[in-house]
Chains A and B, each alone.
Chain A
Amino acid sequence: EAGVAQSPRYKIIEKRQSVAFWCNPISGHATLYWYQQILGQGPKLLIQFQNNGVVDDSQLPKDRFSAERLKGVDSTLKIQPAKLEDSAVYLCASSPSSAGRGEQYFGPGTRLTVT
């Protein structure tokens, strides 16, 4: 079974630039998550999708972050414009559970550096 795929793995941009991350979840997984992990902190949930609908985006900074899940499969997370404090690892995870309580399977993450 193929795991969760993410790209790019690393990205360096200047502040005020835009960036997009891509995630391909495990086939058949209904729930998809984006997390932000800042150095020294635990992963923080940015947005949760159930199929192609948003379940929870309460911690997504909507003035600069946006996300979509195309046809309930792949997802993209965009930051526009980026700030220095957005430097972090962005993790995508998927779960077969529709209730959001099941085990989550993570991708390798995208390490973003904003200079």
Chain B
Amino acid sequence: ILNVEQSPQSLHVQEGDSTNFTCSFPSSNFYALHWYRWETAKSPEALFVMTLNGDEKKKGRISATLNTKEGYSYLYIKGSQPEDSATYLCASTDSWGKLQFGAGTQVVVTP
């Protein structure tokens, strides 16, 4: 993998359901993996930064895992709420400090 790729591009979730989505990134020269939440008309907000293989981070109902050997990260939302509706961006930093973003996963949570 040469670029950061996210899937799916978008998903619709019923309120209360849990969901997850994927970020794939180049595993060579890897330094860190970032997850951001970007709500419409607001600033992208940093959720997690992970650097070590096997890292797991949690913030409320949102959690993320990291596999640096195979180059992927999962973001999980447990018990989705309407306020979770946003675009979730992942970005990979290489050893030179260059940040490369994926195109994002747009999450829409319907009541």
A residues contacting B by CB (< 8 A) are 3-4, 33, 35, 40-45, 56, 91, 99-101, 103-109
Q: B residues touching A (Cβ–Cβ < 8 Å)?
A: 4, 6, 31-32, 34, 36, 41-46, 49, 89, 91, 93, 96-104
Q: Which residues of B contact A107 (CB under 8 A)?
A: 43
A106 to B104, CA, bound (A): 16
Considering the complex of A and B, which 6 residue pairs feature the smallest CB-CB distances, nearest first? A100-B97, A42-B101, A106-B44, A106-B43, A42-B103, A101-B97
Known: A56-B98, A101-B97. A43 touches B89 (CB 8 A): yes
The residue on B at minimum CB distance from A44 is B101
Give the distance to chain A from B34, nearest Cβ to Cβ, in Å: 7
A44 vs B34: C-alpha distance in the bound complex, in angstroms? 15
Contact at B101–A4, with CB atoms within 8 Å? no
B97 near A40: Cβ-Cβ < 8 Å: no
A107 to B36, CA, bound (A): 13
B43 touches A4 (CB 8 A): yes
| CA A6 to CA B44, docked complex, whole Å | 13
- Chain A residue with the shortest CB-CB distance to B38: A106
Beyond A42-B101, A105-B46, A109-B43, 16 additional pairs, beta carbon < 8 A = A3-B43, A4-B43, A35-B101, A42-B6, A42-B91, A42-B104, A44-B101, A45-B98, A56-B98, A100-B98, A101-B97, A103-B46, A103-B49, A104-B34, A105-B43, A107-B43
Which B residue sits closest to A10, measured CB to CB? B41
Q: Which of A43, A56, A104, A108 has the most CB of B within 10 A?
A: A43
